[in-house]
Structure 1
Amino acid sequence: MDAPSIIQYLNDYFTYVQQYDTEIWRAIGETFVMVGISIAAAVFLGLPVGTVLFLCRKGQLYENRPLFSVMNGLVNIIRSFPFLLLVVIMIPLTRFIVGTSIGTLAAAVPLSVVAIASYSRLVEQSLLEVPKEVIEAASSMGASTLQIVFKFLYVEARSGLVLGLTTSTISFISYSTVMGIVGGGGVGDFAIRYGYQRFETEIMVFTIIIMVILVQSIQFAGSLAARLLDKRKA
């Protein structure tokens, strides 16, 4: 195929896809809402949960085996639960929280629960990489618990925390593609309804391209931020 033919093909392709531009932008917006809420849940709830898991585990500053066992068990159960089944099982809770079990906000509830569990485990793993000498030095200087966490642990583990959030965000995007079962919409739901069910391969390919660009952009930004924040390379 020569250059003019390729240009003509691409022109026809984008002209065909353009007729769905309203639906595509709506789907992208719905994906951003679901993923954005889950990221917020991961940061504001998953980060503290992961920190408590780290502080309460055996040999750490505030060792508390009963509390660690309970929290660790809950995190493991949520992370091991098939996501599709979790969405269905959580429908009553979702309806109680947002008043409905259908829609983008409803879809964000189970996604946020998974986000909290997933990121809390990555936070715990990142904090475990911080040398114990750092905590001991902070304690010897009379630092409070909050000071130890925010001025020492998070500072030392900041690169790993960013990478963990990047990995989690990409997982949230993947999970969001199946939220059509509760009417959550999003790019994945759009691809199924318009691309697969209507046998419109062009639409399916276009949505895949969108997802690839989105994921690659997030991975690049997250990796760059982590590299800039890495104290070992500062």
Structure 2
Amino acid sequence: MTLDFSKLDTNQLLEATYETFYMTIIALIGTFILGLLLGLLLYLTDKDGLWENKILNFIIATFVNVFRAIPFIILILLLFPLTRFLIGTIRGPNAALPALILGAAPFYGRLVEIALKEVNKGVIEAAKAMGSTTRRIIFKVLIPESMPALISGITVTAIALIGYTAMAGAIGAGGLGSYAYYAGFQRRIFEIVLVCSIIIVIVVFIFQFIGDFISKKIDKR
């Protein structure tokens, strides 16, 4: 089979690549903040936690489990009313952000909870014995001690987010997924789909490399 790239619009490809990076980075920031908050609450309100609270833990865990269970493409559709209310439209990169964040944050929240549970309890007990407040324990012990695992977790989440942006593109969010689907698949131009797939793989490798590099730099073990 002979490949013909003459129908590949470089400007549209560059714009789609920018939109994919834009959606991924902005959603990743929101996911990190919300996911870290969810993970901390899951950890702190769990049995023997600093804020042990069965009811609150159950509510947060239910929220996390429900949003993790809903397939992303369905979640986008369910969040159309919220997206229209917040963004004013259901099309474009910005419109994809609520679904991207709410789809990825619960996943990352569980990774945060796991990372926090791996922190040596002796270190936490020592901090408590020295009279450290809960806030100090969180920001001076829990987060610093679990940072390599938190970075590894957000790297895994970033890879998932890139896949989510491709799915969101299929329903008008823009990005490489949108360009591959509308300009490539629907018009039967295989070359566009191929190029978009290659760029998405490259983007994945970029995020993976950055995440691994940072994680190794801060890991003092």
| TM superposition score category, shorter chain reference | over 0.9
User: Aligned letter for 2:184?
Assistant: G
Q: Which of 66, 83, 93 is the equivalent residue of 1:94? A: 83
CA RMSD of aligned residues (A): 1.6
Alpha-carbon distance in structure 2 between the residues aligned to 1:193 and 1:52: 41
What's the counterpart of residue 186 of structure 2? 197
Alpha-carbon distance in structure 1 between the residues aligned to 2:18 and 2:176: 9
The equivalences for 1:201-212 within 5 A come to: 201-212=190-201
Whether 2:220 is the aligned partner of 1:231: answer yes
Compare 141-150 and 177-186 and name the one that shifted more: 177-186
What's the counterpart of residue 128 of structure 2? 139
Contact preservation (8 Å) 2:83, 2:98: yes
Whether 2:98 is the aligned partner of 1:105: answer no
Alpha-carbon distance in structure 1 between the residues aligned to 2:197 and 2:40: 36
Whether 2:5 is the aligned partner of 1:37: answer no
User: Aligned letter for 1:99?
Assistant: G
Alpha-carbon distance in structure 2 between the residues aligned to 1:30 and 1:151: 36
What's the counterpart of residue 6 of structure 1? none
The equivalences for 1:68-217 within 5 A come to: 68-217=57-206
TM-score (normalizing by structure 1): 0.89
User: Aligned letter for 2:188?
Assistant: F
Give per-residue Cα distances to partners, 1:111-150, cap 9 Å, x unaligned: 1111221111111111011011111111111111121011
Whether 2:13 is the aligned partner of 1:24: answer yes
Alpha-carbon distance in structure 1 between the residues aligned to 2:22 and 2:207: 16
Contact preservation (8 Å) 2:170, 2:181: no
Give per-residue Cα distances to partners, 1:185-217, cap 9 Å, x unaligned: 110111112221222222211111101111011
Contact preservation (8 Å) 1:159, 1:227: yes
* TM-fit CA distance, 1:102: 1.9
* TM-fit CA distance, 1:161: 0.2
Aligned length: 220
What's the counterpart of residue 59 of structure 1? 48
Structure 1: gaps of 5 or more residues: 1-8
Alpha-carbon distance in structure 1 between the residues aligned to 2:106 and 2:38: 8
TM-score (normalizing by structure 2): 0.94
Alpha-carbon distance in structure 2 between the residues aligned to 1:83 and 1:43: 18
Alpha-carbon distance in structure 1 between the residues aligned to 2:32 and 2:131: 28
Compare 120-129 and 40-49 and name the one that shifted more: 40-49
User: Aligned letter for 1:55?
Assistant: L
Contact preservation (8 Å) 1:156, 1:231: no
Matched position secondary structure for 1:184:
coil
- The runs of at least 4 consecutive aligned structure 1 residues that moved more than 4 Å come to none
